[in-house]
Amino acid sequence: LQHRAGSERLPGLLVAPGAVSSALNPVLQLPGGAGHGSALLPPLLKVLAERGPRRWDGEAPRLRPDARALRYMKRLYRMSATKEGIPKANKSHLYNTVRLFTPCSEHKHRHRDVVRGDVHSVDLLFNLDRVTALEHLLKSVLLYSFDTSAPVSSSITGTCHLSVKEHGFSSHVCPSLSHSLAFSLHFQVRKRKWVEIDVTSFLQPLIATKRRNIHMAVNFTCLLGDPQHNTELENAINMVLVPPSLLLYLNDTSEQAYHRWNALRHRWKNPARPRQRNSPRLNPAGDTGKENSQGQRASRQRR
């Protein structure tokens, strides 16, 4: 393999564990003398192949994602990629991976605080096993979804306070981490509201020490609108305060991930490049991408 371009730089993923390449469905084995099946698979196949030997034919064991979370990620996808699935060029974010985790277990309790109104406390356990070693954390967010489809007469503004503390972890060597912040919240009638609360400074040390089970206690209070008529508003909010999801914005430095800044640097270095054959020709079965014959004839005449 050593004489082949790039083979020694392939991440462990491409020389997947024996179980993966041997259990690959024959459909995926390349025809002819393909030799090392998994090493020649395109990136997406390798990534998916890496996830488990029974992925192709049998129903791979899989938990259904939370519907709200799925809605949010589809919205993020539409904002980040074109209809054909190509990352939008006008985006200058540094992340190339976003992971959303819903809590594996949660214990909610609510108590009344005379000054701050209802305090929503929830203990959340997130399992971050899916984060790979080459995915580096840029930002982490607790994603709250407020659904005001409940009867709320008018738009509401208020201030909320959130505090996050590592749950059940205390050691005299390193004190348990905590993080708190206040933020304002504005609701419109009949509009779903996503609120992203940045907890990067809280989570960064935990991820840096390769902690994969994050157990946190979150306290959440909101004082909304006019205190005299608070009951109606508060009911609207209390009813819909769903435990948050955890959103991680990551930079995947592996070979198969797209590195936006490389593409930009490449364009700067080669503004004028030799013309290459790039006009897609319609193959008999294809329905789109028709060859533009005028383009073809014009370029030939120029030559």
Partner 1 sequence: DENLKEAPATPPYNLSEYFKQFLFPQNECELHNFRLSFSQLKWDRWIIAPHRYSPQYCKGDCPRVVGHRYGSPVHTMVQNLIYERLDPSVPKPSCVPAEYSPLSVLTIEPDGSIVYKEYEDMIATKCTCR
Residues 168-187 touching partner 1, rule: CB under 8 A, are none
* Contact map string, positions 127 to 146, toward partner 1, x by CB under 8 A: x-xx----------------
Q: Which is nearer to partner 1, 120 or 139 (CB)?
A: 139
Binding status of residue 259 toward partner 1 by CB under 8 A: yes
Task: With contacts defined by CB under 8 A, name the span among 149-157, 179-187, 208-216, 282-290 that binds partner 1.
Answer: 282-290
Q: How far is CA 226 from CA 78, 172, 214, 230, 248, in A?
A: 37, 44, 37, 6, 35
Work out which of 172, 273, 294, 302 binds partner 1, going by CB under 8 A.
Answer: 273
Q: Judged by CB under 8 A, how many residues of this single chain contact partner 1? A: 65
Binding status of residue 5 toward partner 1 by CB under 8 A: no
The two three-digit tokens of residue 249, written as one number: 């914005």
User: How far apart, in whole angstroms, are the C-alpha atoms of residue 196 and residue 140?
Assistant: 9
Residues 92-121 touching partner 1, rule: CB under 8 A, are 96-102
Least Cβ distance, residue 4 to partner 1 (angstroms)? 14
Q: Are 101 and 245 in contact (CB under 8 A)?
A: yes
Q: How many residues does the chain have?
A: 303
Residue 4, SS3? coil
| Amino acid symbol at 255 | E
Q: Which is nearer to partner 1, 148 or 251 (CB)?
A: 251
Residue 251 φ then ψ, to 5° = -115, 110
Residue 88 φ then ψ, to 5° = -65, 135
Binding status of residue 211 toward partner 1 by CB under 8 A: no
Binding status of residue 69 toward partner 1 by CB under 8 A: yes
Binding status of residue 64 toward partner 1 by CB under 8 A: yes
Binding status of residue 286 toward partner 1 by CB under 8 A: yes
Q: What is the DSSP string of 210-231?
A: T--EEEEEEEEEEEES-GGGHH
Work out which of 4, 74, 107, 265 binds partner 1, going by CB under 8 A.
Answer: 74
**Three-state SS string across 68-113, please?**
HHHHHHHHHHHHHECCCCCECCCCCCCCCEEEEECCCEEEEEEEEE
Work out which of 105, 110, 188, 258 binds partner 1, going by CB under 8 A.
Answer: 258
Work out which of 26, 31, 33, 274 binds partner 1, going by CB under 8 A.
Answer: 274
Residue 80, SS3? helix
Query: Taking the CB of residue 83, how many other CB atoms lie within 10 A of it?
Result: 6
* DSSP tag of 86: P
Residues 30-49 touching partner 1, rule: CB under 8 A, are 42-44, 47-48
Binding status of residue 188 toward partner 1 by CB under 8 A: no
Least Cβ distance, residue 124 to partner 1 (angstroms)? 14
Q: How far is CA 134 from CA 39, 95, 145, 243, in A?
A: 19, 12, 30, 29
**Where along the sequence are the contacts to partner 1 (CB under 8 A)?**
42-44, 47-48, 51-52, 56, 59-66, 69-70, 73-74, 76-77, 80-81, 83-87, 96-102, 127, 129-130, 252, 255-260, 263, 273-283, 286-289, 300-301, 303
